[in-house]
Structure formats: C-alpha cells, structure tokens
Structure 1
Amino acid sequence: MILKKIFPFLTLFCTILFFGQDTIQPKQELKKLLHDASVSFMDYKVETSMDCANKALVLALQYDEDEYAAKAYNIIGLNYTEFAELEKAVDFFNKGIIHASKTKNDTVKSWLYNNLGNVYCYHKIDYKKGIESYLKGLEFSKKFSDELEIAFSKLNLTSAYFTYGEFDKGIVFLNEAKDYVSQSDDLEANLTLNSLYGEYYSFYENFPKARAYFLKTAELCSKNTEEYLEGNIVEAYSNISDFYHKIGDDDNAYLFLEKHDSLEDKVYNKQRIQQVKSVGKEIENNEAKMQLVKMEAEKIVQDQKLRNTQVFIIALFLFFAFVFVLLLITVRNNKLRKKVNKKLLEINEELRIAKEKAEEASNVKSQFISTITHELRTPLYGVIGITDIIEEEHKELEGSTYLKSLKFSAKYLLSLVNDILNLNKIEENKVTLDNRTFHLKETLVTIKNSLETIARKNKNTIAIEIDEAIPECLYGDNVRLSQIIFNLMSNSLKFTQKGKVLIKAKLKKKRDTTLFIQFTVEDNGIGIPEKYQAKVFEKFVQIDRKDEDYQGTGLGLTIVERLVELFNGTISLESKEDQGTKVIFTIPLKEGQKEDATKKESIPVARREEKTTKEYYILVVEDNKINQLVTRHLLENNHFKCKIVDDGFTALESLEQEHFDAVLMDINMPKINGFETSKLIREKGFTLPIIAVTAFEKDEIMDKIHEAQINDIIVKPFDVKTFLKILQKQLDK
C-alpha cells in the first residue's frame, strides 16, 4: 500500500514552526493563506484549499518568496494527486522542488520528494523514479532529524517495494521504522505500519501473523476521528479484504470490501474532483500571467542595461581593435602549446600504461617465483629426507654412486631454488639490513670453518688477514656480510685446485664514525677470461662449467653484487686466465660496543639422548605421504613419539581424544589449511605449542602466523639441528 496521505498535514506545521516572526504584510498574508489551504485540504474542502493555495502562490511569485512558493506548489500537487490529473501533480511537485532547492529548508524538500514518490509509485507511473524520490526525501528528513518524518519516509519506501513485489528490500526499511512507530501515538503511522506487516506476512503465507496485523489495522481504523485519514483507511480496508479473500474467508472479505467502497465514494466524489479541476485551470492561468509579467519586467531591465552598456561598448571598440592582432598571435601560440601539451599528455599516458604493465608483470613474477619455490621445496624435503634415511638405514649403500648422485642433485636443486628466491627478494626491495654488533674475526673464522669441506675436496687452503686498524667489534648486518663473503669464497674454492684462497679485510678510510672497510677474496685458480669478466655479475652466467662438476646456479655473484649495493658499497673484479681471481668490495660499517658482541646463543645438539630426555608425544599434521615418512623417521630417530594425520579436521579429533605435547602443522593442505586449523585449535582452548612446518618463506607468512597464534615456524627443507632446536625450545616453555 502506498502512503499517499502521509504528508498533507505537513504544510500546516510549516506555517506554525518554520516561518519567522516577520512583520512584513505579504509574509503575514502568505502564512495565513497556506494555513487555511492546509487545514481545508485535511478536511477535504478541496475548492477552498486550492483557492487559498492559488492566492498564496501568486503572492509568493510576486515577491520572489521561494520557500512559500514551494509550500503552495506542495498543497496544489497534493490536491491534484487525490482528485485529478497525475501528470499535473508531478508538474506542480517538480515546480515546488525547483523553488525549494533555492532555500535551506530541508523539511519542505523532504515533503515534496516524498509526495512526488507517492504519485510515481502508488499510481504505478514510474517505479524507479518513485524509489529515487523516496530516497531523496529520506535523505532530507535525516538532515533535520525529525524521527517521525524519517519513519514516514521509510514506510513510504517499504510500501513502494511491496507494491512492486520486492518484499526483501522493503522489509529492511519497515523493520527500521518499527521501533519508533510502535512507541509513537501517531495513528496514521501505526495504521500504516500494521497494514504493511500484514501485507508482508500474507505474501510469505504466514497467515496467523498476517491476520494479527490486519486485525490491529482494522482496530486502528475504527478509532479514527480525523477526516484527512479516511484516504489511508480506504486503502487499509482494500488490503484487509484482499487478505481474507486470499485465505478463503469470503464473509470478512466482503465485509471489508463494502467498507472500502462506502468510504471511497465519500472521499473521492465527483464534486471534489470537478472543484480541483476548476480551480486548477485558474492556477495555471495565474501562473501564465505571472510568467508574462516577469518576462515584461525582465525585458525592461534588460533594455535599460543595454542602453547603459552602449557607451561602454563604443569606448572599448578601439581598444579591442588595438589588441586584435595580439589576440591572433596569442591564439596561434595557444594552438601550438595545446599541440605540445597534447603530445606530452599522450606520452605521459603511454608511460603510465607502461609503468602499470611493468608493475603487473613484476607482481606476476614475484607471485610465480614464490609459488614455484614453495612447490619445489615440498618434494625436495621428501627427496632429501628419504636420501638421508636410505643412507642411514642401509650402510651397504654408503659408497653408492647412485645415492651420492641423488643427494647431489637434490641439494643442487635446493640451492638453485634458494638463490632464485633470494635474488627476487633483493630486486623487489624486500631485503633490509638488520644491523647489530659483531666480531669481525669470529665471523670470518666461522665462514672459513664452514668451507673446510669444500676446500679439502679440491686440496685447497684458506687464509684470513685482518688489518689491525679495524676495531675488534663492528656494527652492521653480519648476516648479509657473511652471505657476501661465503658466496665469493665458495666460488673461489670451486675454481681452484691445490691452491690457496685468501680473505683480507683492510680499513680503507674513516669518516666521522663510519669505517669504510675493503674486503678482498683472492685465489690462484683458473681465472676468468677477459671476454667474460664483464658478464660474471649477470644472472645465470657460468664460465667454463663442466658437466661432471657442480659449478653453482649462476646467481651467486649476482646476489653478491645486489647485497653490496644494499650496503651502499662498491664491488669490482680482477682476473687473469690461469693465474687467479681477485674480487674487491668496500662497504661502510660502524664501530660496535664490545659488550653487545659477547652475547651468544647456546648451540643445540643435533640428537636428543634417550636416557636423559623425557619422551614427548608429537602430533604431525601433514598430507604428503613421503613427507609423513621423513618427519616420522626424524622424530622417532631422536626419541620422540609421534602420530601422523592427513588433514586439519582429523587433527582436531585427535587433540580431543589424546594428549600431545606439541603440533607440527603443515600449512598448505586440502580441506582446511594450517592457519585455519591452528585458529580452531586455539578456539577450542588448546594451549600446546604449534610449530608451522612449511615450504613458504618465513617473511611471507609472518602476519598469518601471528593471527593464527602459531608459536614458531620451520621452513622446509630444514637443517636437522635447526629443527630440533626450535622443537625443543617450544617444548621447554
């Protein structure tokens, strides 16, 4: 049911609440005329209402009183809506909106838009325009914060949506209006609210609720003493009659249909309609006369202005003639400038598109590298783990060429994956320096010890030389520095046979607190031909690689160069074929405090002793069968008891049935991933340590790790010592 009678009385409030205490006679007359027009409309004295509104409109237009004109148009439009032509009603409401838009009175704007919506929706002229009008009315009613007006606007929207069968949209606004209307003693609002709820529940065939609301509607109709609400009651009786007809109660359907017909004949009689049309013609004639008077007045003003400007135009004529040539020159220059600007804009647009494509390609590349490294690391964990198991359990294969080749290939592939990922992170500016205090000598000795196996393989020796002018403790990123030196020295050892590799550190210069230290990695190996020296820092470049000997991925020196740039340092290479190679890089570091560098972490053992260590029960959540085998072997070989499950849901069931000391959680699993599984574990109140075992890079998933309340992370494939250290640390908490 459309609320076509919601706003007629608002014009009365307008005259009482929103008019100022103006002492000018025309305004006093306007207030009285609009008051009489509003009261007469509510009493269905349409001839008097239209006559008063017409007089008010003439007076308002005469004195350019837009607010009064808007209110007069509103009353005229309401009369046309009730008793005459709808097109004229729309026309008068739109005229009222034009005048109201020139004022700050949001109340009048709300009335006009709601009444316009009533015409469009109730009479099914234009549903879309009706909804738009109602929404604008609601917007303006919210501005002046009148809860009753807001409620009426929402009831209007509900009725519109219901009329066109969109009950799911309409019920939202009806529920929003319910609380205020139910507590209000406004008869019209409550009558409308109950009738709409009756319609809603009748549509969804909840007939008990629909009957209750329609009975309440009928009760409210019987209490009415106001003639202006009879139009609403006509519609209410129609809806109640339709409901009873729908449920097969023909007696009540006929009863309310008779009430509807009787009241409709009273409200919408031919005499009233004729009165509206009669006075409407007079209003239209008056409007035309007023427009003619305005046009004549404007013409007189324009003629006067024209005469006043003639002298000025003549005076300017000579000046315009003088500057005409200059204007032509300016126009020509402007055209040239526009052409240049247009070209620049086209170039800028091309650059923008190229930049977006480059960024998109970069993002795709990063995503691809991240995905492929993850997919490679997962099976590599199985390959390396199974190789270790075979080597440990089958001592007779210790010297097997095939087993060694398998282990070599797996480690080669892992090295390639790590190098690609590291290079990508550096190029994407995802690597930052983590500065801390460290001992330079200890760092170099540690690197030397780590490379002794490679050195012995080619019968090489490693030497260290440190300038005495360099302080014992330095402040900088020790990890990145170690990565640079390790890559350079391992490269030299691979290409040197029965020779020597030397690492030297020399204080090049000192500026304030910054020390510029020059590091040199020198060997007497095969050297690099001069034609290749300019390319050694490029990606995937390898010099004189032999098929039977592992020479690396071709990314080591590229990573070295990027890391040196990260330090804001410089790097260069000197080499002679068959005489050796020297790589020199210089980076800025600061002097560190000794006490900071003396803090060391205890080194965990690689294997737990069965006699001295408690047996822990570990739940392993892993969907890959090979990785299950490797992890089980690793745990049981180090005196841990474990249970393997394939997915997160099974893990939750196991935790509820058995006691575990920790969970090793794979992240990338079907059904439910490790993050969601961990969240469910925490929600169920389990506080045992959860350690993520994943092939994802740690820094890629740290936010999700914290969100899922996972205690720690182990990246596959992992070093056994690191694995045991992290697991034991969490178990000891």
Structure 2
Amino acid sequence: MVCKVKHILYFWFALFSVLSQAQSNDIIKDSIERTFVDFYEFKNKAKMSHALEKLVTILDLSDSINDKKSTAKVYMLRAELGIEENYKSFNPTEIESYLKRAAQIQLEIPDSLGLGYNYVLRALTATRNTSYSNADKHFSDAEAIFEKYQSTDDIKKLKYYRGLFYLSQGINNRAIESFENSLPINDPYQPKYLRAKVHLNLAKAYKNIKQYEQAKLNAKIALQIANSYDFPIIKLESTQIIGDMYAGLNDLKNAYTFQNEYIKIKDSIYNIERLQSVALARANFDNEFQKRHITELVRQYDDSTQVGKRNKLTSILSSALLIIISLLTISLYRNNQIKVKTNNLLLKKNSELQLAKDNAEKAMKAKAQFLSTVTHELRTPLYAVTGLTHLLLEENPSESQKEHLKSLKFSGDYLLTFINDILQVNKIEARKLAVERAPINLKKVLNDVVNSLSQTSKENNNKIILSIDKGIPDKLIGDYLKMSQVFINLISNGLKFTKDGIVEISATITEESDTQQAILFEIKDNGIGISKAMQENIFDSFSQGSVQINRKYGGTGLGLTIVKSLLELLNSNIQLESKLGVGSTFRFPLTLDKVEEEALSHTEIIGEEKTDLKNRQFKVLLVEDNKINQVITKKIIAKQNMTCDIADDGYQAIDYARSNHYDFILMDIHMPGISGIEATKEIRKFDASTPIIALTAISLDDNKNDFLKDGFNEVISKPFDPEVFYKKISHILS
C-alpha cells in the first residue's frame, strides 16, 4: 500500500513539473512575441539602439527555452537592419554571417517560410554588391517557397522587395508595377510602416522618370502615414522628395518650406548622442552573436567527440581547443571594445565636422540670399533715378539744373556700379557664373575699353598707351563680357591711382599652336603703387589698402576681387608687381582658341556695331507692374519714335499678345499673379516668332541661358543705359 502511494506521488510530482515547465515556456514565448513587437516599434521610430537591445533580449529568452526559430529570426532582422542603413555602414561580410547562421538553423528545424525570407535578404545583399544574377536567383527561390505554402501575404511582400531591386537598378517602370501590385501589404508587426514604405518608394520611382505630380502625391501619402504613426525616417525622405518635386514644378515657396522641414527632421534624427548609442548597441549585439557562435562551435565539437571513446589525446586536444576558443573570445571582446571606442571617436569628429560644414553652408547661403535680395530690391528704385535723370538731361535743362542732374547721374551710376559689383561677387561665390565661348575681336575689345575710359584718363591728365602684338588674329574664341570686365577694372584702377602719368596696356603672344594662342596681358601704371603689406590682401573683397585711400580715391574695393575670380573662371591667374611711389604692374596669361574660317563665316562676332533705330517705327508691348517704371520705359521707347501698349501683369500681356501684332515685347520678370517667365511660355504656345526681351532687376538665381531656354530672345538688366538698350533692340530686330 505504501509503495503504491509512493508511485502515485511520484507520478503527480512529475506531471506537475511537466505542466509547470510547459506553462513557463508559454510565458517565455509570450515575452518573446511582445519583445518582437517592441523591436518593430523602436525600429520604425528610428530608435535603433533600443531596437538592437530588444534583439539581444530575444536571444537570451530564446536560449532559455531553446527556441531556435526566434533565434534565426533575430539574426535575419539584424541583417535587414544592416541592409537598410542607406549604404553608410553596409558590411556584406557581416550581413552574410548573420544570414548564413540563420539559414543553418532554419534548415535544421526546419523553417521553410523563414528560409524564404532569408533568400529575399540574400537577394537584396547581392543587389548592393552588384551581383544581379545572384539576386534574381534568390528571389526565384523565395517565390517558389511562398507559392508552395500558398502564403498570399508573403507573396505580396515579395513583390515589394522585388520593387526595391528594380528601383536600385533604375528599372523604374517595373519598380512602379511591383510596388503597386504589393498593395494592400499585410504584416503582423508593421502593416502601416510597410504601406508608407511602398508609397515612399513609388515616389522615388516616379521622381526618377520625372513624373513630378505622381511623385509628390505618393510622397504626401507616405508623409501622412509617417506623421500619424511617428515614422521619422519616412518623414525625412518623403519631406525631401516633396521639396524636390515642388522645385521641379517651379513652386519655390513650397520647395523652400519643405527643405527647411527636412533639415529640422534630419537634425533631430542624426545627432551625436543617438549615433553613439547605436554604435554601442551594435557592438553589444555583435559580441553576443560571436559568443553564441563560439558556444555552438564548442557544442558541435563535443557532439562529434561523443561518438567514440575519449582517449587522453582527445582530452588534450579538447582542452587546447577550449583554450584557443577562450583566447579567441577574449580577443574578439577586446577588439570590439577598441572598435566601439574608435567608432565613438570617429562619430564625434565626423559629427563635429558635419556640423561645422552645415553651419558654414547655411551662413554662406544666408549671406548670398541676403545680398541677392538687397541688390535686387535696390535696382527697381535705382531704375527710376537713372531713367528720369537721363530723360531730364535730354529735355534742355538750364545750366544750373544740368550740373545738379549730372551730379545725380554720377551718383546713380556709382550706386549701380556698386550694386553690380556686389552681385557679381555674390554670383561668383555661389558658382552661378558660366564661361561663354564665342568668336571675339580681341583688338576691338581692347580698343573699345580704352576708348570708353578716355574721359576718365583726361580727368587725371593721364595718357593711355595700347600695344597689341601684330601676330594676334582678328578673331579668337573667348568670353567677351568677362574679358571686358577684367580689362575695364584693371585699366580704370590704373587711371584712378595715377596722376599726370601713363597707363600702358600690352598683349604679347608667348606660345602658339595650330589651334591656340597663349597671350600675356600687362597693365602697367606709374601711379602711387602698393606697399608689400597691402599686396597680401589687395584681392580681398572691399579691400583698398587703407581707409584714407578709400576716402581719397573712392570705389567699392571689389574690382580686383572680381578680376581675380573672373580670371580663375577663365583658367588664368593674376600676378602683381608694385612699389610705393613707382607704380604697379598687373599681368595675367590667357590661352584662347583660334577660329576656323568655316565657323567664322556663319558666326556673328561679338562687339560689332549694330544699326541705329532712328527713323524706324515699331509697335511695342511693355509688360511692367511698376507705374514709375512704365512711365520711364515708355518715354525711353518714345525717343526712338516707337508706339507702346502697356500691360500691368502677365495675364493682360497674354491677352494683348493674342489680340495684336507687336514688333517686340518687353517683359518684366517679377510680377504679381504669374511671372514674366510663365507669361512668355504661354505666349510662345501661339506666337513663336515675336521677339520677347526680358527686363529684370537681375538677382543671384537669374541666368541668361535659363531665360533663353524659357523662350526669351534677349535679357536686359534694370536699370539700363538707354544707348545699350537701343543697341540690343537693334540687334534683335536686325
């Protein structure tokens, strides 16, 4: 009887132990599942250090109940994080080790669906390594598994991953098809996140094929989901795409708004503390992976040695192996510690450098935009000043009035020169200037500059001597405008700082081939000279040597800065020799291409005289929103016997152009409603022949070539010299 009771007690004790163990296992499995949910939550909210910590927690829980399926899944998730790191920390060897270990477990269990996703991740890894044939094979292997198990949700997600593959290869139409076929996309952990990712990648594909409206629409859907569920990385990328799309659609206001939002989001995600915590969490996970890998190697070795009898030699070898493995573990741990410290240091330095670079770029951009805005706004009232002064001088004022008007004209011209110099420096610094190549008459360029400065030379009783090498041909390829600016600045500088003296200009051939001529230019004066100390910064902006020189001789202090920058654009450099009280010599070389005779016969030479507009009658459409500018421009036009209709905005201009015939149209650019550019594009839809001339107070972003692409025939910047205005009009109409 006692024996029976004992057996019954043992039975119930064993049964209780089994039930307790099973209950404990169920609790741990629930913990693993909740931790996976937490992992996806942290990952999707860009809290990568917390996400990696959750993966380590799952490994520990999985070890306690020998849950190999969860362990393999953790290794795949770690590999997927590496693949998604935007190529910055992409380590194919490291990712391959995770996927290989996961595959070993999945084949051992077995876990076919898990193995299918392993093939998907291998395909994406092969894509990043530009092994495209391997990528396609891995996708096919995954598809075969998912179809075998008739897993509809997995097949849908596979279409999303194939879309990523096509997008990375630039096969945008197939990428769009794959992404659209993946919707609706289901996932037990992150359905909203994957849906947002699909729309984000659709936006990228549409952007690549320049379908900006579709790109913007999908990016906005992605952004809406990201804002609702707080997905920072998707917020960042979709905001950037929307800003780019607005820029592509010429909606600069919205483009600027989204660009600012993009910078804010980026600064909130990528900061030193977060990057350091991610680096530490990554190193900690890698250590855990290495330890488990070594433990598995030891287990495999123990299993293999259990087959036969253990002899003394086997024991020695086993001990030696354990010692080696222990030393390897210590070595790996130390290496990882060093890696973490080095990584932290590099992250810190990189972040500091990036921050400094970003701040410098922001400051430069703000300065450029400020100067551009100021110079642009100053040109409009200055147009009224110079224009009215010109008109008053032509209306036979009294002698006393004439003196005042001349003084006003001088002040207006000086202010305009100053504004033009600031804008020129601003454009050079912002890299907005391009070198033009066209046939020019170099001798005529130099003669024209000298003639235009003849009055200036008389003011200080100076003499200009021009010496041009006889071997220089009449026509060479060069940039007429930039070369003229260089010569004007250097020669006028020599005249300004010289009194009762001589300014010599020489052009000498130093080297010649069948296609090119190398010419050395020298501008020499016997004026006040420049001290050694001042020569070091004479080419800096607003530098004139001293305040006394600025007060005595005037000027902006930007002339030599512009000269140096323009010559750098022309692949040249300027040299200075000077001595106080003796004079200064500026010299620079230019290599110019020769003009082929055939090309010359079909090419207009820059700088030739144009026909006069006098005694010719034209009908003109003036598009201008500023009333004062309307009056001034109309009077300047009337001086040449031209009649004029005035449109106050772009819409009215389109109506006038459609209803009337004009010999040419003068179009202001910046107007309320639609801009002059948009109005010109509309006019060009029904009138491709009438010359349209842009009248603009040029800003930093204005470029003549851009205007010509938009349908304009010529660009005249406000305020303008009436004679230059007439010459350009004559050139267009001839």
Q: TM-score if structure 2 supplies the norm length?
A: 0.55
Partner of 1:557: 560
Q: Aligned in 2, Cα 1:635/1:474: closer, same or farther, shift over 3 Å? A: closer
Partner of 1:608: 614
Partner of 2:497: 495
Q: Aligned in 2, Cα 1:633/1:320: closer, same or farther, shift over 3 Å? A: same
Distance 1:616 1:681 in 2: 19
Partner of 2:344: 342
2:588 corresponds to 1:585: yes
Q: Aligned in 2, Cα 1:649/1:661: closer, same or farther, shift over 3 Å? A: same
Distance 1:409 1:152 in 2: 69
Q: Aligned in 2, Cα 1:327/1:453: closer, same or farther, shift over 3 Å? A: same
Letter in 2 for 1:556: G
Aligned with residue 145 of structure 2, among 92, 98, 104? 104
Find the residue that maps to 1:709 and give its secondary structure: coil
Distance 2:610 2:479 in 1: 24
Residue pair 1:439, 1:597 contacting (<8 A) in 2 also: no
2:394 corresponds to 1:383: no
Residue pair 1:604, 1:725 contacting (<8 A) in 2 also: yes
Find the residue that maps to 2:394 and give its secondary structure: helix
| Structure 2 unaligned regions, length at least 5 | 1-108, 114-140, 164-179, 187-299
2:579 corresponds to 1:573: no
Residue pair 2:622, 2:647 contacting (<8 A) in 1 also: yes
Distance 2:444 2:657 in 1: 46
Q: Aligned in 2, Cα 1:109/1:722: closer, same or farther, shift over 3 Å? A: farther
Residue pair 1:606, 1:720 contacting (<8 A) in 2 also: no
Q: Aligned in 2, Cα 1:731/1:135: closer, same or farther, shift over 3 Å? A: same
Aligned with residue 482 of structure 1, among 484, 507, 519? 484
C-alpha deviation, 1:367, in angstroms: 3.0
1:182-331 equivalences under 5 Å are: 307-308=306-307, 315-321=317-323, 328=330, 331=333
Q: Aligned in 2, Cα 1:710/1:504: closer, same or farther, shift over 3 Å? A: closer
C-alpha deviation, 1:704, in angstroms: 5.8
Residue pair 1:666, 1:693 contacting (<8 A) in 2 also: yes
Aligned with residue 640 of structure 2, among 632, 638, 641? 638
Distance 2:329 2:637 in 1: 90
Q: Aligned in 2, Cα 1:433/1:354: closer, same or farther, shift over 3 Å? A: same
Residue pair 1:110, 1:137 contacting (<8 A) in 2 also: no
Letter in 2 for 1:571: I
Partner of 1:718: 720
Letter in 1 for 2:609: I
Letter in 2 for 1:358: A
Distance 1:717 1:697 in 2: 13
C-alpha deviation, 1:654, in angstroms: 3.7
Letter in 2 for 1:709: G
Larger deviation, residues 643-652 vs 330-339: 330-339
Letter in 2 for 1:521: I
Distance 1:697 1:156 in 2: 49
C-alpha deviation, 1:588, in angstroms: 3.6
Find the residue that maps to 1:388 and give its secondary structure: helix
Residue pair 1:435, 1:476 contacting (<8 A) in 2 also: yes
CA RMSD in angstroms, aligned pairs only: 4.6
Once the two structures are superposed, residues 433-481 of structure 1 have per-residue CA deviations (whole angstroms, 9 ceiling, x without a partner) of 3344544433322221121121122221100223456666655445433
Letter in 1 for 2:488: F
C-alpha deviation, 1:425, in angstroms: 2.4
Letter in 1 for 2:563: V
Distance 2:491 2:150 in 1: 82
Letter in 2 for 1:407: K
C-alpha deviation, 1:519, in angstroms: 2.1
Partner of 1:234: none
Partner of 1:52: none
Residue pair 2:156, 2:185 contacting (<8 A) in 1 also: no
C-alpha deviation, 1:413, in angstroms: 1.4
Distance 1:362 1:322 in 2: 58
Residue pair 2:440, 2:605 contacting (<8 A) in 1 also: no
Partner of 2:364: 362
Partner of 1:374: 376
Once the two structures are superposed, residues 324-357 of structure 1 have per-residue CA deviations (whole angstroms, 9 ceiling, x without a partner) of 5576567546534542343123212322232233
Find the residue that maps to 1:714 and give its secondary structure: strand
Letter in 1 for 2:682: L
| Structure 1 unaligned regions, length at least 5 | 1-62, 68-99, 114-132, 143-150, 158-300
Q: Aligned in 2, Cα 1:494/1:309: closer, same or farther, shift over 3 Å? A: farther
C-alpha deviation, 1:577, in angstroms: 2.5
Once the two structures are superposed, residues 479-503 of structure 1 have per-residue CA deviations (whole angstroms, 9 ceiling, x without a partner) of 4333222211100111112211001
Residue pair 1:397, 1:403 contacting (<8 A) in 2 also: no
Letter in 1 for 2:567: V
Once the two structures are superposed, residues 40-66 of structure 1 have per-residue CA deviations (whole angstroms, 9 ceiling, x without a partner) of xxxxxxxxxxxxxxxxxxxxxxx9897
Find the residue that maps to 2:702 and give its secondary structure: helix
Residue pair 2:373, 2:699 contacting (<8 A) in 1 also: no
Q: Aligned in 2, Cα 1:529/1:681: closer, same or farther, shift over 3 Å? A: same
Q: TM-score if structure 1 supplies the norm length?
A: 0.55
2:664 corresponds to 1:668: no
Find the residue that maps to 1:570 and give its secondary structure: coil
C-alpha deviation, 1:376, in angstroms: 1.9
1:691-710 equivalences under 5 Å are: 691-696=693-698, 700-701=702-703, 705=707, 708-710=710-712
Aligned with residue 409 of structure 1, among 400, 411, 415? 411
C-alpha deviation, 1:318, in angstroms: 1.1
Find the residue that maps to 1:433 and give its secondary structure: coil
C-alpha deviation, 1:526, in angstroms: 2.1
Partner of 2:354: 352
Larger deviation, residues 336-345 vs 700-709: 700-709
Q: Aligned in 2, Cα 1:371/1:684: closer, same or farther, shift over 3 Å? A: same
C-alpha deviation, 1:546, in angstroms: 6.2
Find the residue that maps to 2:345 and give its secondary structure: helix
Residue pair 1:473, 1:593 contacting (<8 A) in 2 also: no
Larger deviation, residues 416-425 vs 439-448: 439-448
Distance 2:433 2:481 in 1: 12
C-alpha deviation, 1:621, in angstroms: 1.3
Q: Aligned in 2, Cα 1:592/1:579: closer, same or farther, shift over 3 Å? A: same
Find the residue that maps to 2:504 and give its secondary structure: strand
Partner of 1:59: none
C-alpha deviation, 1:317, in angstroms: 2.3
Larger deviation, residues 340-349 vs 652-661: 652-661
C-alpha deviation, 1:412, in angstroms: 1.2
Q: Aligned in 2, Cα 1:493/1:348: closer, same or farther, shift over 3 Å? A: same
C-alpha deviation, 1:135, in angstroms: 7.9
Once the two structures are superposed, residues 383-420 of structure 1 have per-residue CA deviations (whole angstroms, 9 ceiling, x without a partner) of 11011011112421576443222212211111112112
Partner of 2:421: 419
Partner of 1:617: 619
Find the residue that maps to 2:467 and give its secondary structure: strand
Q: Aligned in 2, Cα 1:607/1:682: closer, same or farther, shift over 3 Å? A: closer
Find the residue that maps to 2:455 and give its secondary structure: helix
Q: Aligned in 2, Cα 1:458/1:658: closer, same or farther, shift over 3 Å? A: same
C-alpha deviation, 1:372, in angstroms: 2.6
Residue pair 2:564, 2:574 contacting (<8 A) in 1 also: yes
Letter in 1 for 2:631: L
Residue pair 1:66, 1:103 contacting (<8 A) in 2 also: no
Distance 1:317 1:464 in 2: 95
Distance 1:474 1:584 in 2: 20
Distance 2:344 2:111 in 1: 49
Residue pair 1:605, 1:721 contacting (<8 A) in 2 also: no
Q: Aligned in 2, Cα 1:504/1:405: closer, same or farther, shift over 3 Å? A: same
C-alpha deviation, 1:644, in angstroms: 1.9
Partner of 2:521: 519
Find the residue that maps to 1:700 and give its secondary structure: coil
